[in-house]
Amino acid sequence: MRIENIEKTRLTADVFEEKNFGSSFSDHMLVCEFKENEWQEPVIKPYGQINFTPAMHALHYGQACFEGMKAFKGENGDVFLFRPEKNFERINKSAERLAMPAIPKEIFLDGLKALIDLDRAWVPSKYGMSLYIRPVIFSTEEIISARGSNSFMFVILTSIAPDYYNKPLRVKVADHYSRAANGGVGYAKAAGNYGASFYPTGLAKEEGFDQVIWTDAATHSYFEEAGTMNIFVRIEDKLLTAPISDRILNGVTRDSLILLAEKNGMTVEQRPIEVSEVYEANQNGSLKEVFGCGTAVVLNNFSAIGYTDKVMELPEITEESWGPQLKKQMNEIQYGIADDPFGWRVLVERK
Amino acid sequence: MRIENIEKTRLTADVFEEKNFGSSFSDHMLVCEFKENEWQEPVIKPYGQINFTPAMHALHYGQACFEGMKAFKGENGDVFLFRPEKNFERINKSAERLAMPAIPKEIFLDGLKALIDLDRAWVPSKYGMSLYIRPVIFSTEEIISARGSNSFMFVILTSIAPDYYNKPLRVKVADHYSRAANGGVGYAKAAGNYGASFYPTGLAKEEGFDQVIWTDAATHSYFEEAGTMNIFVRIEDKLLTAPISDRILNGVTRDSLILLAEKNGMTVEQRPIEVSEVYEANQNGSLKEVFGCGTAVVLNNFSAIGYTDKVMELPEITEESWGPQLKKQMNEIQYGIADDPFGWRVLVERK
């Protein structure tokens, strides 16, 4: 690994006042090229421009996938990653489905740690904020032929993550548009999954909602994901979440919340969730809460669910609600405040 | 429109010996940026690099779509486009589904004609060769937040198209992987559709096939598309092709072949095609031919279709086969050799 240091940091106190997600980039980025059938030496260098022509393969064919992770700063200035091995494993699952070469573990994990160590001053120390980490692989061959690329670039970017959502969301159940099909790429963090979601999400926003709850493409009668989040439904004292499939992302936050909930003695069932059962539970008062989870947002309760022309207003969030309790427990592990019974926290050593 | 001419052409006689599709780019490209809510002045300038950072939105979220077209050179050096209005209409359908701004007609069509006129020396004069034209729109905002971009770039590239496929293809029917679902982006030329297809296509190649025939994601029992082509099946004297839907690309070549076939007195039915009926027709001898069509390939007959562990060898192509006849008629219209009863050819005027 080669390191090219920036001459002068761009870091100022203003950076930590950033209100937008994903637009304030730290001093450095990691870049590693795949060519002649192998990954080359990774380079950490100043964040900035790279020359491409508009014939770059990924711009035409979407052969690209990414990960989302965060670095957290503890009270004594220690910086932690959260279950980075999970993201390492998943980016290679995504890469395989998109016919891209797997990233070696040492490039991903050692590169990641070296980058975060170098830019540790960029990790916000305020509870609720963090440094968002974006590993991405995209195809770089200068060709406009509809076949897989022969060259790729793996990049790790980091940018300031303010508190992501701060209010309960109103979400709309998809009854026409779909996100994924059996045999497709729904389980991968494939670039094209996101591009395809913006238009239906825009339509939901025009109706006054914040996000779409994706349902199965065939019948639109089962919950699959909510926006870019996995979804949980609490009916009485049981937490339900859709099972992992080739349509549903195997979320790291999803997995962590399941383990955390079980540790709290909560019952968790991974099974298909019917829209109609949630509707009925809301009618008869057994529906307690519905929330989405993901790296960016951690966990966000919903206040209302739209379905066709109906809107279910969900119960108010109270001190008894599980969502905020689980979020707090997750955050306290992530920031090094609480014990880490599962061994999820990874300290970024100072080199 | 502003034109920045190249200082010295890169064109040499070698260019016309190019054997690879989509890698030999002409002197110029058209670039038009969308920012501050509007498309800016288009610029025709030397083909080459543009500065992007790896945080460019399209690399992460696949908010990108494209078109495929060709310019043909006639015997007296005239250069023709083929139904360019169709591609103009379709790129805006794709753009809408991907939450991107529509391109104004004058930027697309006038820009296209000016670009092809300027680089007309790059249009091969050999019958069977052409200049491939690639309009593409991609998101350019420097942000890694999973929402639609606020800035975009529309680019038209052109590159040498050698004869695309020259032998009948062996194709494999998808029985696990899928390309599109109801409510998805299958009908759009969305970047992500292509990235998602490379892995299943690679698996088919390992089994000795050239392409995948995509089937419906729900049951895998109906033909939808073949590779990046629309598909036609001839049973006795009837030509069948899958109907346009939100899963199937509304191909310009598909539409043209239907009109051309009907003008030849051939019967064409646009209806779902069952894999099993094609299999049975092959068994009882009523299956005459199966072919794919698209801008790059024009038309390509298949020699064999694999389905699960069976392989149907298809009838030999003869002088009676419709595929080659239709391809020749299409090409003769495209190259200005035959009359143009439909008014499809558009002359690129010399400015």
CA of A218, closest CA in chain B: separation in Å? 7
Q: CB of B213 within 8 Å of any CB in chain A?
A: no
Q: Give the pLDDT confidence score for residue B97 in this predicted structure.
A: 98
What contacts B119, CB < 8 A, 6 or more positions away?
B26, B27, B28, B131, B158
Q: Is the pLDDT of residue A165 over 60?
A: no
- DSSP code at position B47: S
Tokens of B315: 């009838």
Q: Give the pLDDT confidence score for residue A163 in this predicted structure.
A: 75
Give chain A's largest Cα–Cα span: 63
Nearest CB neighbour to B198, from listed A63, A138, A177: A63
Q: Give the pLDDT confidence score for residue B164 in this predicted structure.
A: 62
Which chain A residue has its CA at the smallest distance from B183's CA? A177
What contacts A346, CB < 8 A, 6 or more positions away?
A80, A81, A82, A83, A84
Q: Give the pLDDT confidence score for residue B51 in this predicted structure.
A: 86
* Contact yes or no for B54 and A22 at CB 8 A: no
Q: CB of A60 within 8 Å of any CB in chain B?
A: yes
* Contact yes or no for A195 and B61 at CB 8 A: yes
Residues 327-346 on A with a CB inside 8 Å of B are none
pLDDT band at B168 (very low <50, low <70, confident <90, very high): very high
Contact B116, B65 (CB under 8 A): no
Tokens of B128: 């069977």
A contact test, residue of B53, B91, B97 with most A CBs within 10 A: B53
Residues in B touching A139 (Cβ below 8 Å):
195
Q: CB of B19 within 8 Å of any CB in chain A?
A: no
Q: Give one DSSP letter per residue of A242-267, joined into a string.
A: PPPBTTB---HHHHHHHHHHHHTT-E
Q: Give the pLDDT confidence score for residue B163 in this predicted structure.
A: 75
Counting residues of chain A whose pLDDT is more than 70, the rounded percentage is 99
The CATH number fitting domain A169-334, selected from 3.20.10.10, 3.40.50.300, 3.40.50.620, 3.40.50.1820 = 3.20.10.10
Contact B326, B61 (CB under 8 A): no
The mean pLDDT of A234-247, rounded to a whole number, is 97
When the pLDDT of each residue in chain B is averaged and rounded to a whole number, the result is: 96
Q: Is the pLDDT of residue B166 over 90?
A: no
Nearest CB neighbour to B183, from listed A49, A147, A177: A177
* Contact yes or no for B191 and A194 at CB 8 A: no
pLDDT band at A69 (very low <50, low <70, confident <90, very high): very high
Which chain A residue has its CA at the smallest distance from B185's CA? A196
Nearest CB neighbour to A64, from listed B50, B59, B217: B59
* Contact yes or no for B196 and A202 at CB 8 A: no
Q: CB of B129 within 8 Å of any CB in chain A?
A: no
Please give the backbone phi and psi of residue A316, each rounded to the nearest 5 degrees, phi first. Answer: -60, 150
* Contact yes or no for A136 and B51 at CB 8 A: no
Residues of chain B with CATH 3.20.10.10: 169-334
Q: Give the pLDDT confidence score for residue B264 in this predicted structure.
A: 97
* Contact yes or no for B58 and A55 at CB 8 A: no
CA of A144, closest CA in chain B: separation in Å? 5
Residues of chain B with CATH 3.30.470.10: 2-161
Residues in A touching B22 (Cβ below 8 Å):
55, 143-145
Residues 242-301 on B with a CB inside 8 Å of A are 296
Q: What is the pLDDT of residues A29-56, one digit of tens each?
A: 999 999 999 999 999 999 999 989 999 9
Contact B332, B338 (CB under 8 A): yes
The mean pLDDT of A292-316, rounded to a whole number, is 95
Span A2-161 CATH architecture: 2-Layer Sandwich (3.30)
* Contact yes or no for B179 and A184 at CB 8 A: yes
Q: Is the pLDDT of residue A178 over 90?
A: yes
* Contact yes or no for B192 and A174 at CB 8 A: no
Contact B7, B25 (CB under 8 A): no
Nearest CB neighbour to A192, from listed B54, B132, B196: B196
Q: What is the pLDDT of residues B106-157, one digit of tens each?
A: 999 999 999 999 999 999 999 999 999 999 999 999 999 999 999 999 999 9
Q: What is the pLDDT of residues A98-136, one digit of tens each?
A: 999 999 999 999 999 999 999 999 999 999 999 999 999
* Contact yes or no for A178 and B174 at CB 8 A: no
A contact test, residue of B32, B63, B159 with most A CBs within 10 A: B63
Contact B273, B223 (CB under 8 A): yes
pLDDT band at B183 (very low <50, low <70, confident <90, very high): very high
Q: Give the pLDDT confidence score for residue A299 in this predicted structure.
A: 95
Distance CA B231, CA B169 (A): 13
Nearest CB neighbour to A157, from listed B54, B61, B99: B54
When the pLDDT of each residue in chain A is averaged and rounded to a whole number, the result is: 96
The mean pLDDT of A85-102, rounded to a whole number, is 98
> Across chain A, how many H-helices and E-strands are there?
9, 21
A contact test, residue of B147, B160, B187 with most A CBs within 10 A: B147
The mean pLDDT of B52-63, rounded to a whole number, is 97
Q: What is the ipTM of this complex?
A: 0.97
The mean pLDDT of B275-296, rounded to a whole number, is 96
CA of A291, closest CA in chain B: separation in Å? 18
CB neighbour burial string for A208-229, b if at least 16 within 10 angstroms, e if fewer: ebbbbbbbbbbebebbbbbbbb
A contact test, residue of B61, B151, B155 with most A CBs within 10 A: B61
SS3 B158: strand
The mean pLDDT of A334-350, rounded to a whole number, is 97
Q: Is the pLDDT of residue B165 over 80?
A: no
